[in-house]
Amino acid sequence: MKILIIDEEFPYPLNTGKRIRSFNLLSRIARNNAVTYLAYGTESTESFEALKKAGLNPVAVPPHVPTKSGPLFYFRLLGNLLSRHPYIVTSHYSKVFAERLHEMIARERPDIIICEWTPYAIFVRDIFGPKKVIVAHNIEHRIWRRYYENEANFLKKWYIARQMGKVERFEKESFSAVDGATAVSEIEAEQIRGINPACIVAVVDNGVDPEYYNLPDVPENKNLVFVGSMNWRPNQDAINYFVHDIFPLIREKDKKITVTFVGQDPPEVIRKLGRLPGISVADNVTDVRPYVQNAAVSIVPLRIGGGSRLKILEAFAMRKAVVSTTVGAEGLEVANEKHLLLADTAKSFAEAILRLMNDSELRRNLGESGRQLAVEKYSWDILAEKLQRFLDKLMERQ
């Protein structure tokens, strides 16, 4: 079948969770289908060539998405109060992208159009002919609700509430206008079915390449690691929560324990945390595996978010013990004390880490159980087959 994908960016280099997921699933789908990838970007890049080699046939639209800093950013946020759509939609919309999409539909006549991020449904809601699919990496309004619940500033809380309402309305309208959707957990899938019972919804979990992460362990150490894009607000909140609320409790008991935060594009406020005792920040690394390999425990102190966690699956594949909040492990079929340790307060999170540092057998058992789960359930090959069955089912519907 002919598949046209639209996205905010090309899924390469593989340095964010969304890119890792999109590239691994869609490059496998491209082995048996004609796939074209329309996104903001430029042709003269490493990303463009990598996608060609993966069979994803990239088509670039000149970059449009504005930056998230400076006076103009705040002016746009203010201006969005007058818009019916949320900022995550209006900031990504451009007539040039819409025109290029319509040109490609007329020329290539795709069987399916896949929106690789829910806000991009704005481009396809009124298109007829091809089957339309939304890839729900998250249910976005749930993230905004958690922003709201964790925000103390009154003015920010008021603005977030406005955005949350707009995002929820946009999602309801978008899921009602498409033929199918994929979700990364059953929680999200049920919400989509509740919005549009006629929509074919498949759960295609986040995954991992078990062999790529199958590295030997390192000698005993007392380092913790957090992996995640640092330009994403839920990860920024998680880092600040850990540094200010959890890490001091750990250091009171054992000053030899250290933590490394690894991820893309940290803002200056996160970079400065690397100056504190026991804390280091590694930004824009090309390969996270050495950082995970050299840690005793992988931490996921997320309080905001949705979907399911690539960072946990990567740690599992490397046989690393994991301590996570319930939100951090949401969407994964994991059992507390079998695959990882769950902790939802600063005190219990610190205690779980100290417990693991003092129990090498528990660390080893959790690591082996996590590895087994990653291999048996969350391999990209298995998940790509599930996605292909979903697309086939969608095409069978008249």
What are the distances in angstroms from CA 208 to CA 167, 238, 300, 308, 376?
30, 22, 17, 12, 11
Domain ranges within the chain, ordered by starting residue: 2-207+379-396, 223-377
Phi-psi region of 41 (alpha: psi -120 to 50; beta: other; left: phi over 0): left
Q: How far apart are CA 317 and CA 81, in angstroms?
A: 44
Element (H, E) at 113: strand 112-115
Q: How far apart are CA 257 and CA 238, in angstroms?
A: 18
Nearest to 110 by CA among 131, 134, 95, 135: 131
Q: What share of the chain is helix, strand, coil (3-state, %, to 5)?
A: 45, 15, 35
pLDDT of residue 71: 87
pLDDT of residue 69: 78
pLDDT of residue 351: 99
8 contacts 120 by C-beta, under 8 angstroms: yes
Task: Note the Cα 146 to chain centre separation in Å.
Answer: 16
Q: How far apart are CA 36 and CA 32, in angstroms?
A: 13
Phi-psi region of 386 (alpha: psi -120 to 50; beta: other; left: phi over 0): alpha
Q: Going by C-beta distance under 8 Å and a sequence separation of 6 or more, which residues neighbour residue 202?
A: 180, 181, 182, 183, 189, 386, 387, 389, 390, 393
Q: Does domain 223-377 have CATH number 3.40.50.2000?
A: yes
What are the distances in angstroms from CA 198 to CA 25, 115, 119?
25, 18, 21
316 contacts 290 by C-beta, under 8 angstroms: no
What does the block give as tokens for 227? 């992996």
79 contacts 47 by C-beta, under 8 angstroms: no
User: What is the pTM assigned to this prediction?
Assistant: 0.89
Residue-wise pLDDT tens for the chain (398 aa)? 999 999 999 999 998 889 999 999 999 999 999 999 999 998 877 888 999 999 999 999 999 877 777 888 999 999 999 999 999 999 999 999 999 999 999 999 999 999 999 999 999 999 999 999 999 998 999 899 989 998 999 999 999 999 999 999 999 999 999 999 999 989 899 999 999 999 999 999 999 999 999 998 887 799 999 999 998 889 999 999 999 999 999 999 999 999 999 998 999 999 999 999 999 999 989 899 999 999 999 999 999 876 558 999 999 999 999 999 999 999 899 999 999 999 999 999 999 999 999 999 999 999 999 999 999 999 999 999 999 999 999 999 87
What does the block give as tokens for 17? 């969770």
Q: How far apart are CA 130 and CA 124, in angstroms?
A: 10
What does the block give as tokens for 228? 């995640």
How many CA atoms lie less than 13 Å away from 275 in the CB half-sphere?
5
295 contacts 320 by C-beta, under 8 angstroms: yes
- Give the residue ranges of DSSP H helices in the chain: 17-29, 46-53, 71-79, 87-90, 95-108, 140-150, 154-175, 186-195, 233-241, 247-253, 268-271, 289-293, 310-317, 346-357, 360-377, 380-396
pLDDT of residue 17: 87
Q: How far apart are CA 342 and CA 389, in angstroms?
A: 33
- 2-207+379-396: CATH topology: Rossmann fold (3.40.50)
Nearest to 280 by CA among 230, 237, 225: 225
Nearest to 392 by CA among 239, 384, 249, 211: 384
How many other C-beta atoms lie within 10 A of the C-beta of residue 276? 12
3 state SS of 215: coil
Nearest to 333 by CA among 352, 316, 321: 316
- Matching fold, domains 2-207+379-396 and 223-377: yes
pLDDT of residue 306: 61
